A and B are shown apart, each in its own frame.
Chain A
């Protein structure tokens, strides 16, 4: 009984293995303006947690990453920002498109997310 008590105390006294720290998200600021996203190409490592901060310089735009569930509205100029968290756990090239009609060049308003 005494042995068991000593072993338990020793175990309690041992330093605990550190639990893995949650990875800080990578903040990427994207501005939208008729008819382009800036930057138009975003490159991240596979497994990166991205925190997109999305703002507009004019009207409201959409931010849709084709092939994912991400489809957010970007508010109009000086109306705040949209924050989207996304874990890039699949490698590949993903097209980002404006999903909110914004004018004469709307269909070509695209960017690329490259997950390496």
Chain B
């Protein structure tokens, strides 16, 4: 075999036996209406990888959130976001085991700050899809050809005792930390790619009742279904996502938790989120630096459908308009600005304005 590299010499990183280091960081300045202005080193993430061989790979992600970690849990947190080993068997079928990212939506698996517009992750990917959503599990992934690929995992379920009206299922994540696996879950993603377009359907489905074992109710079940797409052509980019979370047995769950704590958590039987985003590179073609302007409309309703006998908290039936811009002095460095206006269905409580500045980078 003969090969000739015309432009660039062989690249040395990531070769067998040499661990690799990469990471991303983001620092924000947030001003929310009626709240103090806040400066925050939101995320500081190191990624370490290693190739045992061409067939066996290790990847990990270690994160510090909010700069300082204190024992009282009032400040930041340290976490393992990913730590898995891949066993490459065949193009169509490979195995993965360890702590993995749940493959639902766009942002949960693509978290590097230069990959999304807006200082903060979308509301949908915060309130409805609880990023960063990960757990210890095992699964398979592969390339099916004709642009299709998949990931499918077996994971522990959620703890429904942690669900809330405002934050949905976020409090039920076990994050691979001594996770109770008595109620297993399955999650998967089927993705289609062609030049400029990525479209996918993804899901998570499982039981979530182990935290309620002493209560005489049927195990609540959770199913999350999502569709998402990204399309880039020239200087323009479109992005959209739709996600629904269904909680089976939400009525019994509310009644059981009320018996425990005295208050009904008013958990919905369906949460709904969706957003559409348009972005355009507004800087001249001849500039190496890029300036991208974007606008996004989001719907994030954690009280979309209530179980019989419960009324929605209208303040939590939310939507938001976000507009902003990102300056890329390098494709891996993003200076961001956005302003958002949140609205809700409540007649008495107005959603806040938010003004955000941030810088994020990847290396």
Contacts and interface: CB of A to CB of B under 8 A. Distances in A.
Interface string B1-36: 111111110111111000011101000000000000
A87 interface: yes
Contact of A86 (B3, B8, B151, B331): B3
B123 to A, nearest CB: 21
Given A78-B331, A104-B111, A59 B195 contact: no
Contacts of A98: 14
B3 A110 contact: no
Interface residues of B, number: 53
Contacts of B24: 103
A107 B59 contact: yes
Nearest to B108: A104
B93 to A, nearest CB: 12
Contact of B20 (A41, A87, A101): A101
Interface string B108-148: 01111011000000000000000000000000010101010
Interface in A79-103: 79, 81-90, 93, 95, 97-103
B11 A73 contact: yes
A101 B3 CA distance: 23
B14 A34 contact: no
Contacts of B4: 84-86
Contacts, number: 147
Given A71-B11, A110-B91, A101 B331 contact: no
A56 to B, nearest CB: 8
Interface string A5-24: 00000000000000000000
A99 B8 CA distance: 14
B3 to A, nearest CB: 5
Interface in B52-80: 54, 57-59, 61
Contact of A78 (B2, B10, B110, B290): B290
Interface string B183-226: 00000000001110000000000000000000000000000000
A51 B80 CA distance: 41
A58 interface: yes
A68 B82 CA distance: 31
B49 A101 contact: yes
Contact of A76 (B47, B59, B330): B330
Given A69-B10, A71-B15, A111-B143, 19 more contacts: A38-B193, A38-B195, A41-B143, A57-B232, A58-B115, A59-B362, A64-B14, A70-B3, A71-B10, A73-B8, A86-B2, A95-B54, A99-B14, A101-B13, A103-B112, A104-B47, A104-B101, A105-B110, A107-B49
29 contacts: A40-B143, A40-B149, A57-B232, A62-B11, A69-B1, A69-B10, A71-B11, A72-B11, A73-B8, A76-B331, A76-B332, A82-B7, A82-B8, A84-B6, A84-B7, A89-B1, A90-B1, A98-B14, A99-B13, A99-B15, A100-B11, A101-B21, A104-B82, A106-B49, A107-B57, A107-B86, A108-B151, A110-B143, A112-B91
Interface of A: 31, 34-36, 38-41, 57-59, 62, 64, 66, 68-73, 75-79, 81-90, 93, 95, 97-108, 110-112
Interface of B: 1-8, 10-15, 20-22, 24, 47, 49, 54, 57-59, 61, 82, 86, 88, 91, 94, 101, 109-112, 114-115, 141, 143, 145, 147, 149, 151, 193-195, 232, 288, 290, 330-332, 362
